[in-house]
Amino acid sequence: MKKLFLYILLLCSVTHNAWAQDTVQIYAFVNQLYNPGATFRLNIFKSDWGNFLLRKPYLIDETICAKIKNADVSDTTSEVSFAHWTETPKEVVAELYQHCRALDRLWQHRFLWQQAKVQKYLLVDHAKDKIPATVLDKLSLNAQEKATVRKHILDWNKTAIADRLINYCSIPVFTDDGNYALIVIGQDVRSEGGWDSIFIFKKTKGQWLRLDMLRLSEI
């Protein structure tokens, strides 16, 4: 019994460490993409109104996988077409596709963005949320950044719920060499609608640059 307990403890420890490594990579990617000099902020989001991110990630499921391979979700054939990815090597898309298919759905459902690790966004659970000023205590910001975020909080709290803009994104999926990443990103405003797209990024000289995009929906 003691040996069985030690085996289970070791197994849990290995699993935890594996997920911890993935989590470090995930947050490093998302936080770097926020950089105003990166394509994530300048060329992807339609609006810079507020920096509010939905705490629950967008789910990469069978529908998203079907979009990646350019097929109907009910298509069970082995033939895969990546024709709409014009800038990304097909073998890279194929690897990202396989990783998306293998992504643990239960783990995705349990995953929540953590405010202390997503420093440049204010996390919300719903457009109805009222954001307390105390959230600033969880962010490592300088005085100027805190003043900007405080203004965003005030604007959010006084804006009608239907007009509040929320950003959302999936957990990024990486190639084995860590040089490419796939992520679903979108925005939603209840009164206007929203948009979302699948993006592929490539790491170039230590920076993540947008390589490809597939639009899923838009206003």
pLDDT digits (tens, 9 = 90+) for 152-208: 899 999 999 999 989 899 999 999 999 999 999 998 887 777 888 999 999 999 889
pLDDT tier at 34 (50, 70, 90 boundaries)?
A: low
Is pLDDT larger for residue 121 or for residue 112? 112
Place of tokens 């307990």: 5
State how far the Cα of 108 lies from the Cα of 58, in Å rounded to an integer: 9
Q: Is the pLDDT of residue 43 over 60?
A: no
Q: What angle do CA 65, 85, 174 make, to 5 degrees?
A: 55
Are 181 and 201 within 8 A, CB to CB? yes
pLDDT at position 44:
39
Which of 145, 140, 148 minimizes the C-alpha distance to 50? Answer: 148
Task: Give the mean model confidence (pLDDT) for residues 24-42.
Answer: 66
Q: Is the pLDDT of residue 131 over 80?
A: yes
Distances (CA, A) of 77 to 30, 66, 82, 85: 34, 11, 14, 20
pLDDT digits (tens, 9 = 90+) for 66-81: 899 875 545 555 455 6
Q: Whole-prediction pTM value?
A: 0.80
Average pLDDT, the chain: 79
pLDDT at position 17:
33
DSSP string, 35-90: STTSHIIIII-S--S--EEESSPBP--HHHHHHHTTS-TT---S----TT--SS-H
Q: Is the pLDDT of residue 22 over 90?
A: no
Segment (H or E) for 200: strand 193-204
State how far the Cα of 163 lies from the Cα of 2, in Å rounded to an integer: 58
State how far the Cα of 151 lies from the Cα of 95, in Å rounded to an integer: 42
pLDDT at position 46:
40
State how far the Cα of 204 lies from the Cα of 186, in Å rounded to an integer: 24
The alpha-helical segments, DSSP class H, found in 1-89 are 2-34, 39, 62-68
pLDDT tier at 91 (50, 70, 90 boundaries)?
A: very high
